[in-house]
Chain A
Amino acid sequence: MSNQSSETSRMRGLMLVAGREIRVRGLSKSNIISLLITVVIVGVLAALPMILGGDDPDDKVGLAGADAAAMQAQLDAMGGFEVTLYDSADEAEQAVEDEEVDSAVADGALISRDGVGTTIQTQLEAAWQAATIQTNLSDAGLTDAQIGEALAAEPLEVVTLEDSANDSVTSYFTGLVISIIMFMMLMTPVQYIAMGVVEEKSSRIVEILLTSLKPWQLLGGKVIGLGVISLVNLVAMVAVGLGVSAATGVLGDLPEGTASAALSTIGWYLIALVLFGTLAGGVGSLVSRQEESGSVLTPLIMSLTLSYLGAIFMLNAPTSTVAQVLSIVPPFSAITMPTRMAITTVPAWEIALSIGLLVVAAAGALALGAQLYKRSVLYTGSRLKLADALRRAA
């Protein structure tokens, strides 16, 4: 009984189990179809800004008079205007009358049927002023280069003194996306791991499996396999999302650090997967029928949901004490810390402490889950109580 198999065959057993999960579950029709649907939804969402923006028609502006050419240059530079040139102010006025254009600027007058709204008026005003200045300077004998130099002005640098500097809409959004993805990406494998354990138990195949595999290989292989499937799904979603964003030009608007946030999220995810996945396998082995798996999974699902709700709360109060505590205490930290890091600057010691505690919790979960699994996987019948399972001889 004490003979140990060689290192290679231990790894091989683990990888065979993981490979089977990936083949059977990852390549199953249902998984591929749901992935395709998700990818399409993500793609559509990513393309949404462009689709919505594309529906917004340009404002039609008629121009006439001495500054018309200079003004056209200004409006083209601003974008969002469809410019028509007219020979005289009368013609331009007639065009407004005939609804050929929404408004017209001619000889210093803004002509419209019933006003143009403040936004457009401000834009036209700015263009008018710039064009007038340009014409005047040109008249004063300056070259185009000199005019350009004279008008050049750096945009204002924005400096905020409060800590909520990063609390912008985009980092809020990044944090929201991270918390949603972490939540969903943990929820799915946790349920599949428990279902897989119960399937092997209820079909009694586990008895054959255990003649050539150790319980830790069976459990570990499941966690690895389902983790890989989830990661592949995640990567596919992110790739499609970023790809579509890049193609539609939205990508440039994403804040700096989105990529590093995405990468560190994967690290947090892997630790969290060990924590929740091994526990799911352990509690899954307590029951013998699929119908009962829901009840033993409830505490895990609850703590995942609480972590997610905590992260959502944190988005609105990233500097509160509750946020600070939630993002350090496992298992909540698995979702709340990466979310918090996305929306605000977190002191390094807090991050280190959070990672440390989460790793310790994951190691504890690994030991507990594996013990539970080992002790109860061959037990059939009514549901085992947690305490009984731990009291049982392996």
Chain B
Amino acid sequence: MLEIKDLQKRFGDTVALDGVSLSAAPGEVVGFVGANGAGKTTTMRIAMGVLAADSGQIVYNGAPLGVEQRRRFGYMPSERGLYPKMKTGEQVAYFGELHGMSKAEARRSAAELLEQLDLTHRAGDFVQDLSLGNQQRVQLAVSLVHDPEVLILDEPFSGLDPIAVDVMGTALRDRAAAGAPVIFSSHQLDLIERLCDSVAIIGKGSIIAAGTVEELKAKEVKQLRVRVDSGEDLTGRLPGSVVRDGGDYLVEGADDQEVLRIAAAAGRVSHFAYDQPTIAEIFREAVTR
């Protein structure tokens, strides 16, 4: 269990984080959503020990996170970086060693990852000679090479082609299935919705909404969408507040069974369900609130 507790961070006069708390249980994929400048990267950097918080702490499995434990974390910073003049295979293995693996282990793990990422034939090439997409894959390999216990990934999907997005998504789910807490940030909210168990929305340095995807959706104001094959306008006859959305009626604040009865009496009901808000809608709602 990784817990980020009440982080405070100022850069000069700017308050970057104002009491950010966030947690990821083993096997849980947490999506970290927020506008640019909201504090995602700062939070992740502090969690990885690259930046020091003014106050607050990072707790891992019940105890403050130490240097040795953090070396078993996998991290992908938002600004990508690799040694341009180092061979791909050598570079991935080097990071494995930095994270405490033996030379042999690191090499084996690097070779396996490059195989999975379809980069084996490029292992002997300098990173600067790879295409941008392939460099992104190498970056992923660097963050996964030491078989991390926890993954913290800042915008792992940005700049990836659709195939690489799938590879990355699978990698995240695999790690989570193996019991690792995973936190990643993204602006691609459809991906968050597809991959995440829970979501934390950050705005102006504080968490403004958090919970499982279902919880967040359930919290939103419910709208009942009704479609009736009828020549008649039911706006005035349905209870509650009714709005037309094309041919549909959006009903709020009414007993749904009564709505169904009236609709069924008027004609054939071809659609009758509560609208599920997308994460994108929840996000927009949360940040404008």
* Residue ranges of A at the interface with B (Cβ–Cβ < 8 Å): 1, 3-6, 9, 13, 16, 20, 23-24, 28, 199-200, 203-213, 378, 380, 393-394
Contact = CB atoms under 8 A, between A and B. Distances in A.
B67 A3 contact: yes
B48 A204 contact: no
Interface in B34-49: 45, 48-49
Given A1-B49, A1-B52, A211 B86 contact: no
B50 A378 contact: yes
Nearest to A4: B67
Given A1-B49, A3-B66, A211-B70, A205 B82 contact: yes
Q: Which of A23, A28, A207 has the most CB of B within 10 A?
A: A207
Q: Which of A9, A199, A205, A206 has the most CB of B within 10 A?
A: A205
Contact of A212 (B65, B81, B83, B98): B98
Given A5-B67, A204-B79, A208-B75, 9 more contacts: A1-B65, A20-B94, A24-B83, A200-B83, A204-B77, A207-B50, A207-B79, A208-B76, A213-B98
B88 to A, nearest CB: 13
A208 B95 contact: yes
B142 A212 contact: no
28 contacts: A1-B49, A1-B52, A3-B67, A3-B68, A5-B68, A6-B68, A9-B100, A13-B98, A16-B94, A16-B98, A199-B83, A203-B81, A205-B82, A206-B81, A208-B142, A208-B143, A211-B48, A211-B49, A211-B71, A211-B73, A211-B75, A212-B70, A212-B95, A212-B98, A212-B99, A212-B100, A380-B79, A393-B52
A20 B98 CA distance: 11
Contacts of A23: 90
Given A208-B77, A208-B142, A1 B64 contact: yes
A109 B90 CA distance: 81
B252 interface: no
A385 B76 CA distance: 29
Given A9-B100, A20-B94, A199-B83, A210 B67 contact: no
Nearest to B143: A208
Interface in B53-95: 64-71, 73, 75-77, 79-86, 90, 94-95
Nearest to B80: A204
Nearest to B97: A16
B65 to A, nearest CB: 8
Contacts of A13: 98
Contacts of B83: 24, 199-200, 203, 205
Contacts of B65: 1
> Which 10 A-B residue pairings sit nearest by Cβ, starting from the closest?
A3-B66, A205-B81, A204-B81, A204-B79, A207-B77, A203-B81, A212-B98, A212-B71, A211-B48, A211-B75
A1 B77 CA distance: 20
